[in-house]
Amino acid sequence: MAYKSRLQGLGILVLCVLLSPTMTAAQQPMLNLIPVPAHLQTGSGSLRVDPSFSVALTGYAEPRLDRAVDRFLQQLARQTALPLTMKPMKSPKATLVIQTEHPGKEIQEVGENESYVLEVSATGAKLTAPTPLGTMHGLQTFLQLVNVSPDGFAAPAVTIQDQPRFPWRGLMIDSARHFIPPGVIKRNLDGMEAVKMNVFHWHISDNQGFRIESKKFPKLHELGSDGLYYTQEEIRDVIAYARDRGIRVVPEFDMPGHSTAWFVGHPELASGKGPYEIERRWGIFDAAMDPTSERVYKLLDDFISEMAKTFPDRFFHIGGDEVNGKEWDANPKIQAYMKAHGIKNGQGLQAYFSGRVQKLVVKHGKVVVGWDEVLVPGVPKDIVIQSWRGQASLAQAAKQGYRGILSNGYYLDLGWPAARHYAVDPMSGDATNLAPEEKQHILGGESCMWAEYVNPENVDSRIWPRNAAIAERLWSPEDVRDPTSMYARLDFISARLEWLGLTHKMYYRKMLQRIAGPSSPEEFAALRTLTDVMEPVKDYTREQTAPAEPTSATPMNRVVDAVPLESDAGRHFGELVDQYVAGTCRDASLADQLRGQLAVWRDNDQRLQPLAQRSFLVKEVAARSQDLSALAAAGLAALDAIAKGQPASDSWKSQQLAKMEQAKKPKAQLLLIPAPGTQKLVEAAAAGGACFAAKP
Amino acid sequence: MAYKSRLQGLGILVLCVLLSPTMTAAQQPMLNLIPVPAHLQTGSGSLRVDPSFSVALTGYAEPRLDRAVDRFLQQLARQTALPLTMKPMKSPKATLVIQTEHPGKEIQEVGENESYVLEVSATGAKLTAPTPLGTMHGLQTFLQLVNVSPDGFAAPAVTIQDQPRFPWRGLMIDSARHFIPPGVIKRNLDGMEAVKMNVFHWHISDNQGFRIESKKFPKLHELGSDGLYYTQEEIRDVIAYARDRGIRVVPEFDMPGHSTAWFVGHPELASGKGPYEIERRWGIFDAAMDPTSERVYKLLDDFISEMAKTFPDRFFHIGGDEVNGKEWDANPKIQAYMKAHGIKNGQGLQAYFSGRVQKLVVKHGKVVVGWDEVLVPGVPKDIVIQSWRGQASLAQAAKQGYRGILSNGYYLDLGWPAARHYAVDPMSGDATNLAPEEKQHILGGESCMWAEYVNPENVDSRIWPRNAAIAERLWSPEDVRDPTSMYARLDFISARLEWLGLTHKMYYRKMLQRIAGPSSPEEFAALRTLTDVMEPVKDYTREQTAPAEPTSATPMNRVVDAVPLESDAGRHFGELVDQYVAGTCRDASLADQLRGQLAVWRDNDQRLQPLAQRSFLVKEVAARSQDLSALAAAGLAALDAIAKGQPASDSWKSQQLAKMEQAKKPKAQLLLIPAPGTQKLVEAAAAGGACFAAKP
């Protein structure tokens, strides 16, 4: 119904689009859109964006739409530096005419219509959408279309019919392990809006902090947060800010584990004796709520009642992950209770607890979301499973009729390259084999920013730009999956995101300046040459490789805290090596480029050494600098050998490979990204293979 | 008296300092302090700054000092990323003990004691000051001392006894020609605090805008500002913010000229017939207040009364510059009045007007400041002359017993290199010949940021870091004048200023990204290689070279709006050439460095061309890119000739010099900074001089 009325509203232009042969999304020309729209057809010419640009809001009206247009115009003015008229008009003669059909839900719902049609021609643009959500998405698409052109700013002529593949496209931010101030949350909501994500999952309590004001139980935040918490006013402000951007806010109160911070003010909730202190370390801890205590459920009833009113969203996340059960095992009262009630083990006890809490959540009008672990036999069918331990559990849940969202594969803190996240699809893995009606249960996914090693200074850089690749996975058609195209568009959107106030690019030079201290331009450039090709160790190895046990008080001023999680320079080098070797090492221009890059790296250590003498933070990476130098020398020697046309000797090869092994080892918790590429060069130089066979 | 009590407070440590042979300021070791303190003596060792760092406030207490310490600790935490205790203590065992002797004036006064003594040893630090102003200055010095060291963050052991050379050290910001929002003003106040400037001169009305809310005459801001004005609440907030940073706020209401924006709402004030509109162009215009109308003085009386209450400072600036008198000449009523009152010409009429307005200002309890032009015979002796037309007028004023401040030589909008501003001294030029008691009348100086070509996006970059060089000129002893040392310290402070939220560095990449549009890293690097060596045309040539008449609605998105006013890369190249030629072209390493740089420039044009095809903003500088390439080729040819050991032929020389002339011409309102340096290489290659004579 909504779709039909939209088509009628569009009239003849849409008909043309429907009659023309449309390209599949994967065939679409490069338009720097992230996420790639569902259907796109390019037209001819482009729409000039100059100071006469105007916007008209027609159809359904609400203040949220006015604000969306205000934001749109501000952003357009920022992108172009044109003196635009900042007030929308009512005239159908405006450059961009927006037609919204009807209101959205008062509380944004999962699966609400988010579609829109955007037609841009040389003479004007029309954006039509059934609901304000679609309108807002379409405005973001328009902003991405506008660029500098040979004769001014312009948007290419294009017809886009777009809607999301999944209705749940989320970002989780953990603001418990390190407090993330409201302003930082907000700029990340701006980033989410730009890439059409629609759920902000707020991980707001954990062992390391209880970060929200409770009027009913003030000891929770007063004693559980070191004073670093959100007031209810701030929370409401963030929720309104998110709603304005088509984003739902789902709070998570992790229980019965991950809850030490609750017990500082309310030790009676815990299964152990206490007293409890805010946890400063990372990991899984013993403290857990007492599932056998009615006082626990009484407090949770009141608390959930309060929070259910604070967060209007239909969904309410109760965590449920990583309970080790040690406090339960150690508590005779709990053990007695289990025996009396036929509860066999910790898992059973957690299931009992989850069941009780779920009833409270339902009582207060909400639907439960929980991590994998809450999926135990007998759990009511309406809960939503957030799968973090693997894609299997998501498929398993869907098979059993539970709705699910995928986070396994989308953990931003693990430091994966964007392409690796991008390759993970909620419908891949075990989900491939689901029946169509079972697949319906998979609502989408959520990227997760766990905050052991992030703070307001570097958190944006740990989320962006990689999160945009995940946003595209969750919005765009399944066949949009070329990583090369994704990276090209990611570079573009990354620059654009800066205009929104995100600091994911500019933080880097500032952190390096702190690390370097007073330094000459040459010294600073040498530091940057090194740091540009390093990444923090991946997955969960950061704890294991730490020089001392990390805590929430550990300063985050080291190189490992500063370097981006994905090295662009390292990736480009790897691509170049692959191209060179795939072309049987015959391309002299590629060889020259590689040689130029390797020579810079080889000579860099010498330039960096004076700085390493003056700064302990640079000194920590001095060995990495030597490794880079050695690695580059090996790469240059490999290119020399290839140029000679004779495979290098075995002894040379094993000598060089030993250097590569050295370079591949993490030091100072950092990986040297050009190591595998250089190793390929060494292997090519040593093998009697294609690189030599093909030579004259 | 204040000084004596301070010495007593310091006790034995100061005695040691006084007994040791102290270095003159010019001999001081490089400590990256800007401004360089009056007296400094280095000690041995350094004070570690770690998470145990603490601050105690002792002596005189007031909330402003608490806030200063809060800011200090926040900034220290930002500089180091250490988890510091953010609350000051009372204990004398704190790492840094602050002792403030007594309160400052309720309204900060010119010449108030701003001195402080800062002693840092390996075991602790002590900051002693007679007033909160000195304490605040000393805290900024301490922040500049703290740096990364071989084993953690530390401040070197040092004893500093410091006070300013001049009591009036100002920055003027024109927020009339382009509106500068309060947040931008505030971050610039933070920058001023960091370099110990103490006057913010707010040029708040001009032809192009009346930017302050008047409760008595609301038509002034309602009709004279396009809605871009400061509310009185915002003004009060900025004044309080400034006072917290030891900065006075002097408002300027420019009259009788520069006042078109007044006349939009109040045409009865004008000498012409009207109607008037907000001026959109730049320059000197005819509109002027009517000095013969009593209605003018009546309104000004009420208006000055209102503004005198809003701005607590003792000084009140009435402008007075650049009246061309055309409206006066064209108005028979005014002409008749002049005849009747024996006023001979426009200058006489302006003197009459100034006299009347001065009386009103005095009536409302303030002292008048005015530009050069107000200094006419008979002006009362207590006014302050701000000299913009030359240093002669400052000396002349001082000779006549008027107090003066120097702005000639400190106009930031003229695009001079920092070193050129730095060389201007309020006591140089005609002031050199003043008697000591006449010199006393020179209160200091003010840098001026006129806003024809600045907006919130690039204004910080037009002020900083060059303004820090002027701040040093006005604070530090006269013999601190080595530009090499200044530039080294300027680079350092420039990076530090970014921590305060100033955007003078990060705006650049953003603006270039808008100019480039979607681009490969190589293309973007090529753009930056070019823009890094260009500067906007200097002085007042921007108007003259404009492609179309610039107005306040002209978009500021061109390369000329983006590039810094002083090219670091260009300056470094020039220094390198000077070194090379001064060394009779014998230093092979310098030759190699020059060759490397020139080769990059020569090849850059080719890399940039694809971008010039796609972006009109890049296309505008395509010819400059070709000039850079040609220039670099000439430079390389010159180095080749020198290497051959034979002077190049005259025909070669004149051919190359023709290219240099081409390169030196402004295009797209941009100068190619390496042109003069390259010319020196060409001349060295062609001359039979030292570069050849010295060769074997």
pLDDT tens digits for A178-217?
999 999 999 999 999 999 999 999 999 999 999 999 999 9
Catalytic hit among A109, A222, A306, A322: A322
Q: Closest to B514 (Cβ–Cβ): which among A81, A561, A614?
A: A81
Confidence of residue A71 (pLDDT cuts 50, 70, 90): very high
Give the span between the Cα atoms of A508 and A519, in whole angstroms: 16
Q: Is B15 on the interface with A (CB under 8 A)?
A: no
Name the residue of chain B whose CA is nearest to A569's CA: B521
Q: Is A506 on the interface with B (CB under 8 A)?
A: yes
Mean pLDDT rounded to a whole number for chain B: 93
Give the span between the Cα atoms of B392 and B396, in whole angstroms: 6
Q: What are phi and psi of B188, to 5 degrees?
A: -75, -30
**Do A595 and A639 contact (CB within 8 A), yes or no?**
yes
Quote the minimal CA–CA distance from A558 to chain B in Å: 9
Give the span between the Cα atoms of A507 and A561, in whole angstroms: 11
Give the span between the Cα atoms of A266 and A293, in whole angstroms: 13
Q: Which two tokens stand for residue B442?
A: 């020179």
Is the pLDDT at A95 greater than 70? The verdict is yes
For residue B687, the model assigns a pLDDT of 83
For residue A689, the model assigns a pLDDT of 63
Annotation says A498 is catalytic: no
Nearest Cα to Cα of residue B418 among B503, B476, B486, B477 = B486
Q: Closest to A147 (Cβ–Cβ): which among B80, B83, B517?
A: B517
Angle, in degrees to the nearest 10, between helices A483-498 and B506-516 = 130
Please give the distance of CA A405 from its chain centroid, rounded to a whole number: 15
Nearest Cα to Cα of residue A562 among A506, A608, A511, A606 = A511
Strands A442-449 and A403-406: parallel
Give the span between the Cα atoms of A410 and A466, in whole angstroms: 10
Nearest Cα to Cα of residue B106 among B314, B316, B383, B384 = B314
Q: Which two tokens stand for residue A300?
A: 């949770």
For residue B673, the model assigns a pLDDT of 98
Classify the phi-psi angles of A59: left when phi > 0, otherwise alpha if psi is within -120 to 50, otherwise beta. left
pLDDT digits (tens, 9 = 90+) for A687-696: 866 677 544 4
For residue B693, the model assigns a pLDDT of 58
Give the span between the Cα atoms of A236 and A208, in whole angstroms: 23
For residue B92, the model assigns a pLDDT of 84
For residue B461, the model assigns a pLDDT of 98
DSSP state of A289: B
Give the span between the Cα atoms of B102 and B123, in whole angstroms: 27
Q: Taken in order B422, B423, B427, B429, is the CA torsion positive or negative?
A: negative
Q: Closest to A615 (Cβ–Cβ): which among B148, B518, B618?
A: B148
Confidence of residue B544 (pLDDT cuts 50, 70, 90): confident
pLDDT digits (tens, 9 = 90+) for B95-151: 999 999 999 999 999 999 999 999 999 999 999 999 999 999 999 999 999 999 999
For residue A24, the model assigns a pLDDT of 45
Give ipTM to 2 decimals.
Answer: 0.91
Q: Closest to B81 (Cβ–Cβ): which among A32, A79, A555?
A: A555
**Do B311 and B367 contact (CB within 8 A), yes or no?**
no
**Do B446 and B201 contact (CB within 8 A), yes or no?**
yes
pLDDT digits (tens, 9 = 90+) for A465-488: 999 999 999 999 999 999 999 999
**Do A353 and A376 contact (CB within 8 A), yes or no?**
no
**Do A274 and A260 contact (CB within 8 A), yes or no?**
no
Strands A209-210 and A199-206: antiparallel
Quote the minimal CA–CA distance from A183 to chain B in Å: 15
Nearest Cα to Cα of residue A111 among A578, A443, A536 = A443
Nearest Cα to Cα of residue B633 among B601, B588, B668 = B601
Is the pLDDT at B16 greater than 80? The verdict is no
Q: Closest to B553 (Cβ–Cβ): which among A83, A498, A613?
A: A83
pLDDT digits (tens, 9 = 90+) for B76-109: 999 999 999 888 888 889 999 999 999 999 999 9
Give the span between the Cα atoms of B66 and A17, in whole angstroms: 66
**Do A504 and A539 contact (CB within 8 A), yes or no?**
no
Rounded to 5 degrees, what angle do the CA atoms A445, A449, A453 make? Answer: 160
Name which of A369-378, B203-212, B415-424 the model is least confident about. A369-378
Provide, as residue numbers in chain B, all residues whose Cβ is less than 8 Å from the Cβ of A280.
none
Interchain pair A555, B80: CB under 8 A: yes
Q: Is B619 on the interface with A (CB under 8 A)?
A: yes
Cis preceding-peptide flag for B275 (omega within 30 of 0): yes
Residues 6 or more apart whose Cβ sits within 8 Å of residue B246: B108, B114, B132, B133, B136, B137, B193, B196, B198
DSSP state of A523: H
Q: Which two tokens stand for residue B445?
A: 């100086």
For residue A120, the model assigns a pLDDT of 98
Q: Taken in order A532, A537, A543, A547, is the CA torsion positive or negative?
A: negative
For residue B15, the model assigns a pLDDT of 30
For residue B647, the model assigns a pLDDT of 87
Provide, as residue numbers in chain B, all residues whose Cβ is less than 8 Å from the Cβ of A83.
553, 555
- Look at the block and give the residue holding tokens 């609301």: B218
Q: Is A518 on the interface with B (CB under 8 A)?
A: yes
Mean pLDDT for B422-451 is: 96
Mean pLDDT for B625-637 is: 96
Mean pLDDT for B456-468 is: 98
Catalytic hit among B322, B438, B498, B543: B322
Interchain pair A498, B518: CB under 8 A: no
Name the residue of chain A whose CA is nearest to B79's CA: A514
Mean pLDDT for B447-463 is: 98
- In this structure, the dihedral spanned by the alpha carbons of residues A255, A260, A264 and A267, taken in order and rounded to 10 degrees, is 60
Number of Cβ within 10 Å of residue A48's Cβ equals 16
**Do B117 and B22 contact (CB within 8 A), yes or no?**
no
pLDDT digits (tens, 9 = 90+) for A127-158: 999 999 999 999 999 999 999 999 999 999 99
For residue A28, the model assigns a pLDDT of 40
Provide, as residue numbers in chain B, all residues whose Cβ is less than 8 Å from the Cβ of A495.
513
Provide, as residue numbers in chain A, all residues whose Cβ is less than 8 Å from the Cβ of B495.
513
Quote the minimal CA–CA distance from B160 to chain A in Å: 20
Element (H, E) at A555: none
Quote the minimal CA–CA distance from A147 to chain B in Å: 6
| Chain A / chain B CB contacts < 8 angstroms | 99
Name which of A276-280, A325-329, A586-590, A635-639 the model is least confident about. A586-590
Interchain pair A80, B492: CB under 8 A: no
Provide, as residue numbers in chain A, all residues whose Cβ is less than 8 Å from the Cβ of B51.
553, 555
pLDDT digits (tens, 9 = 90+) for B19-55: 333 444 444 445 899 999 999 999 999 999 999 999 9
Provide, as residue numbers in chain B, all residues whose Cβ is less than 8 Å from the Cβ of A79.
514
If DSSP codes are grouped into helix, strand and coil, which group holds residue A684?
Answer: helix
Q: What is the CA radius of gyration of chain A?
A: 27
Q: Is A548 on the interface with B (CB under 8 A)?
A: no
Q: Is A613 on the interface with B (CB under 8 A)?
A: yes
Quote the minimal CA–CA distance from A690 to chain B in Å: 30
Name the residue of chain B whose CA is nearest to A489's CA: B518
Name the residue of chain B whose CA is nearest to A82's CA: B555
For residue B86, the model assigns a pLDDT of 83
Interchain pair B517, A572: CB under 8 A: no
Mean pLDDT for A546-571 is: 95
Give the span between the Cα atoms of A249 and B421, in whole angstroms: 54
Mean pLDDT rounded to a whole number for chain A: 93
If DSSP codes are grouped into helix, strand and coil, which group holds residue A183?
Answer: helix
Nearest Cα to Cα of residue A79 among A7, A146, A134 = A146
Q: How close are the terminal C-alpha atoms of chain A, in Å?
A: 68
Q: Which one-letter amino acid corresponds to residue A337? A: Y
Nearest Cα to Cα of residue A524 among A457, A612, A462 = A612
Q: Report, in this order, helix, strand and coil percent for chain A, each rounded to 5.
A: 50, 15, 35
pLDDT digits (tens, 9 = 90+) for B350-406: 999 999 999 999 999 999 999 998 998 888 898 999 999 989 999 999 999 999 999
Provide, as residue numbers in chain B, all residues whose Cβ is less than 8 Å from the Cβ of A518.
32, 147, 492
- Look at the block and give the residue holding tokens 């749109």: A72
Tell me the residues of chain B between 431 and 470 that have a Cβ less than 8 Å away from chain A: 457
Q: Is B495 on the interface with A (CB under 8 A)?
A: yes
For residue B688, the model assigns a pLDDT of 67
For residue A16, the model assigns a pLDDT of 30
If DSSP codes are grouped into helix, strand and coil, which group holds residue A405?
Answer: strand
Quote the minimal CA–CA distance from B403 to chain A in Å: 40
DSSP H helical ranges for A342-465: 346-363, 391-399, 418-423, 436-439, 459-463
For residue A88, the model assigns a pLDDT of 84
Q: Taken in order B20, B22, B28, B31, is the CA torsion positive or negative?
A: positive
**Do A115 and A72 contact (CB within 8 A), yes or no?**
no
**Do A131 and A104 contact (CB within 8 A), yes or no?**
yes
Name the residue of chain A whose CA is nearest to B31's CA: A518
For residue B71, the model assigns a pLDDT of 96
Is the pLDDT at B671 greater than 90? The verdict is yes
Is the pLDDT at A6 greater than 90? The verdict is no
Q: Is B603 on the interface with A (CB under 8 A)?
A: no
Number of Cβ within 10 Å of residue B509's Cβ equals 17
For residue B17, the model assigns a pLDDT of 31
